[in-house]
A and B are shown apart, each in its own frame.
Chain A
Amino acid sequence: MGIVPLGQQQGAPHFEENRVTTVDAETYRERIWAELAKVARPDSRFHWDFGSFICDFEGSEQCSDRILELDALKQRGDRRVFITPDNCLEDLRYKLICRGISFVMTTYGIVRGFYELDVSTVPAPDRRYAATLDGFDRYAKPVSLSKLRHGEKFSLLVTGGSAVSSNGVRFGKGHGYFDFEWAVLSELGLIDQSSVVADVVHDCQFVNDVMPAERHDVAVDWVVTPTRSIHIDQTTRQRGQVYWEMIPGTEFERLGIVAELRALLKAEST
């Protein structure tokens, strides 16, 4: 399984484990999207436009079974679970609902901020529906940042992604939504050293190569594919933070939670 590494093409040198790459993310992305298209499931609105959404793929059901086995989930105690609105996590959401595990999720593009699904409010026949983005809207309730911060910290955060490297750096879609969600939750004091990040991807999205991380990138602790779970040591991961100077001119600028966070932090510092 896995992508056909660039190095195994004829005429190209073979990959060595964990060497620092000279191949840029753009080259990988095109290659991976071509592979991904063979196993991907289209989005109900965006069709095959991978630039607009994180797709579901064949085998995501095995990924969610693996996520359910993570200690960060099984031994979370009162701590909470955060999930991104990626299509490859739909089955995971369904299984969490079936197991009575409530979770926090953002809306698509974080446009309407964070929502909380109290799974006890979902009637049993509607579980599959509530796990979709369409259905989630019907059952989940918006949660303000000030309310969010008064709850428990997060034990597990699960996201999808276009691609992930062997050192746990996600790259590809390019919007940086998850990195931003992580930063916001960190600023709210809801993330600590024991918070675990898992990235659900197809094997073809795992790149056995080291990618440089930018300061706002969240390196992940687990890469979970249909065939394996790969643990990556992130004990040196820095605390997340919002880099305010990076926001102007981006799509984050107009988000309601940006204004809310700014006001919240300002009120605190005075």
Chain B
Amino acid sequence: MVISRSLDDTSALPTEPRLMEMFNVSRGTLRRAIGDLVREGLLSAEQGRGTFVNQEERVRRVVWERLKHVAIPDSRFDRDLREFVPDFFGSDEASRRVTSLNEWSAASRVFCAPDNSVEQLRYEALAAGKSILVPTYGLRRGFAHLDGAVLARSDLRHAASLDGMESYGTTLGPGDLRRFGTIELIITGATAATTDGRHIGGGQRYLALEWTMMEQLGLVSTSVPVVALLHDCQLVDEVVEADHDCLIDFIATNSRMIHVWGSSPSASNKAPLTLRRIV
């Protein structure tokens, strides 16, 4: 029931007696079931208000189910999509859509998420002589800072991978992120995204954390173009509340490019749109 509800339904679950009747279960069974779902993050119980569905978590589950069919296994986590953002069949086409953007050509300092789907674009960025900033997986060892202009051609594939990137360039902790300079483009994968530009990551919200760090250091502002690489099946045509300002401008998929804010996004028309997250 929770999974099949419409996504913009933000009302509380029905009362206990009603649920017991609907599922024909005892109060004990119902409470255990709800308790399990709360622990898994799918429901949240709010004192005095009722039990609500965690929208982000529900979207993740819907999308993971679809994504299984097109996801490419991770070298360590295989198909355990809770642990990583996978590359997918068709990411080459999505990447080509990104490299033909003017925003891509104009940027020389690019933030790239450590998502597997972004590996090809990390390579393209280095090959184009750009500098990239890549968080290590789970932010365990800070950020890798790689400069495509000084790397040997034969190192680029290695440097673009999570396994190889820390062998090149420098590692920056949160304290020395400023050395990278202001970021001109953000490229990320996602577990899911909404057509109105909300990024839904894995459960740990690393992108939100990284965004907050970079924003506080003055490295990004809401005018920085944000590009998300997704498979079509990761797109959700609903409104989900976002909890940070890293709103997506371009969604590049295996089949199309979506300009979230219209045909020519710019600082002037994007700034007020961040207010939309209150909707």
Q: Is the CB of A126 within 8 A of B75?
A: no
A-B interface pairs (CB < 8 A), number: 76
Of the listed stretches A10-18, A133-141, A183-191, A206-214, chain B binds A133-141
Q: Chain A residues near B83 (CB, 8 Å)?
A: 45
Q: Is the CB of A132 within 8 A of B161?
A: yes
Q: Chain A residues near B137 (CB, 8 Å)?
A: 44-45, 47
Is the C-beta of A129 less than 8 angstroms from some C-beta in chain B?
Answer: yes
In the complex, chain B residues 55-95 whose Cβ is within 8 Å of any chain A Cβ? 72-78, 83-84
Is the C-beta of A112 less than 8 angstroms from some C-beta in chain B?
Answer: yes
Choose one: B154, B162, B163; the contact of A125 (CB below 8 Å).
Answer: B154
Q: Is the CB of B154 within 8 A of A124?
A: yes
Q: Is the CB of A47 within 8 A of B140?
A: yes
Q: Chain B residues near A176 (CB, 8 Å)?
A: none
Q: Chain B residues near A125 (CB, 8 Å)?
A: 153-154, 156-157
Is the C-beta of B141 less than 8 angstroms from some C-beta in chain A?
Answer: yes
Digitize A60-73: 1 where CB-to-B-CB distance is under 8 Å, 0 elsewhere.
00000000000000
Interface residues on chain B, number (Cβ under 8 Å): 28
Is the C-beta of A59 less than 8 angstroms from some C-beta in chain B?
Answer: no
With contacts A108-B78, A133-B75, A137-B73 known, is A44 near B162, CB below 8 A?
A: yes
With contacts A44-B163, A128-B164, A135-B163 known, is A108 near B158, CB below 8 A?
A: no
Choose one: B76, B153, B156; the contact of A45 (CB below 8 Å).
Answer: B76
Q: Chain A residues near B203 (CB, 8 Å)?
A: none
In the complex, chain A residues 88-144 whose Cβ is within 8 Å of any chain B Cβ? 90, 107-109, 111-112, 124-129, 132-137
Is the C-beta of A5 less than 8 angstroms from some C-beta in chain B?
Answer: no
Cα-based distance from A133 to B164 in the complex (angstroms): 10
Q: Is the CB of A132 within 8 A of B164?
A: yes
Most A CB within 10 A of own CB, among B83, B84, B136, B153: B136
Digitize A29-59: 1 where CB-to-B-CB distance is under 8 Å, 0 elsewhere.
0000000000000111111000001000000
In the complex, chain B residues 111-132 whose Cβ is within 8 Å of any chain A Cβ? 119
With contacts A44-B137, A47-B138, A47-B141 known, is A128 near B158, CB below 8 A?
A: yes
| A interface list, Cβ under 8 A from B | 42-47, 53, 90, 107-109, 111-112, 124-129, 132-137
